[in-house]
Amino acid sequence: MAKLLHDAKANNKKIFLQFGGQGAPYLKEITKLYKEEPLLKEYFETVFSLLSEFESSFPKSDSRYTFGYDLKSWMESPESAPSEDYLIRGSVSVPMIFLTQLGHYHLMNLKGYSTSLLLSLTSGITGHSQGILAATFASLGFEGKEFYSQLKDYFRFVFYLAFHAQGAFLEFEIPAVVAEGNTANGDKNPAPMVAVIGYNKEELEDRVNRANKDLGLTGTEMVHVSLYNTPDSMIVSGHPASLLKFRSKFKAEMDESKKKFVYLRTTAPFHCPAMENSWPGFLKDFNDGKFLFNYKASDLKVPVYSIFDGDDIRKKSVPLIEVLYKDIVIRPLYWDKAVGSLFTDTSIGYCLDFGPSVVSSKLTGGQLTPRGITLPVLCLANPKDLKQIYEA
């Protein structure tokens, strides 16, 4: 039995699972899995086949897919991969990050953490933003041939979600005046989402509200607090031009109090009302049968905690597909609610994170530390943690 499972059973402890979101590079991470893990041969063969099938539905003529998504070529010949500016497009990064996370998860299943045994020791699962997609697939509990057959339908759903989410914001080039304004402020890589670090929740919400009011920002021009990651680290989403106005209004204050303002590597203002207009098109494609989603909340084998309200998704009356889309694309994220069971459930002995990178592990640590909670948060993307996960 894998080490962590053995320790959990021996100490009568549960394991909490979490999957990360956007903002971290994924190509090197998934390439490492492809080149160094022969157990994943069937997984990648399935993935490559699925991606080739998508070429007619998602052609390069669409601005979301200018350089395609030939993952196999990118991994085998890194010099052929597009620039990071393309790889971070939500239409591309959402499905690729999903594959990276699921690769870590499936490899763990193949290395002694069988799906049924792991889920029997799992207290619950969540995912940071798009990570809820992989979290939900993990909770469905597919094994063996069924894992691959169900992945085909589920991955097509993921692709359509990413397609429509990015469709709400197709501006891939930052206007020159916005770029120049950011340069003048000393800020790099302007984007539709920015991390603002140093304010607490009430302070940041106050400044966002004041900016919208004082600067006359209305409708899709408004800025919103979109992700509440830790008590003093949150994300603001909005059009890059509006984020520049917000920054300029409070820059002197931020500089004086040493607040940080760091743009995320993403291409759409996720988790805010500006994305609401993407839902009807996605729903129409679903109703027209362009992709299948035959899963219900009652199919989930273990609790999956909503990143919006922290509730067990299994208990929601709204269709699972709507919960996932709106939690990932439109509604704000409250990470303290998503991982809330770590604060109260003393049976949880470990938290396992499936990447990409260690970003979400650090965010969970940022929720635990202020509460005086000591809990191992181990990440499959961190080589240092693998000994504790696998070695007997």
Q: Is the pTM of this model over 0.75?
A: yes
- pLDDT, one tens digit per residue, over 27-73 is 999 999 999 999 999 999 999 999 999 988 999 999 999 999 999 99
> What does the CA dihedral 282, 310, 94, 233 come to, rounded to 10 degrees?
130
pLDDT of residue 392: 54
Is 376 exposed, middle or buried, given 0-12, 13-18 or 19+ CB atoms closer than 10 A? exposed
Q: Token pair of 242, please?
A: 């509006």
pLDDT of residue 29: 97
- pLDDT, one tens digit per residue, over 235-252 is 999 999 999 999 999 999
| Whether residue 189 has pLDDT greater than 70 | yes
The answer to whether 130 touches 18, Cβ cutoff 8 Å, is: no
Q: Supply the mean pLDDT for the chain.
A: 96
- pLDDT, one tens digit per residue, over 111-151 is 989 999 999 999 999 999 999 999 999 999 999 999 999 99
Residues pairing with 194 in the sheet: 236, 263
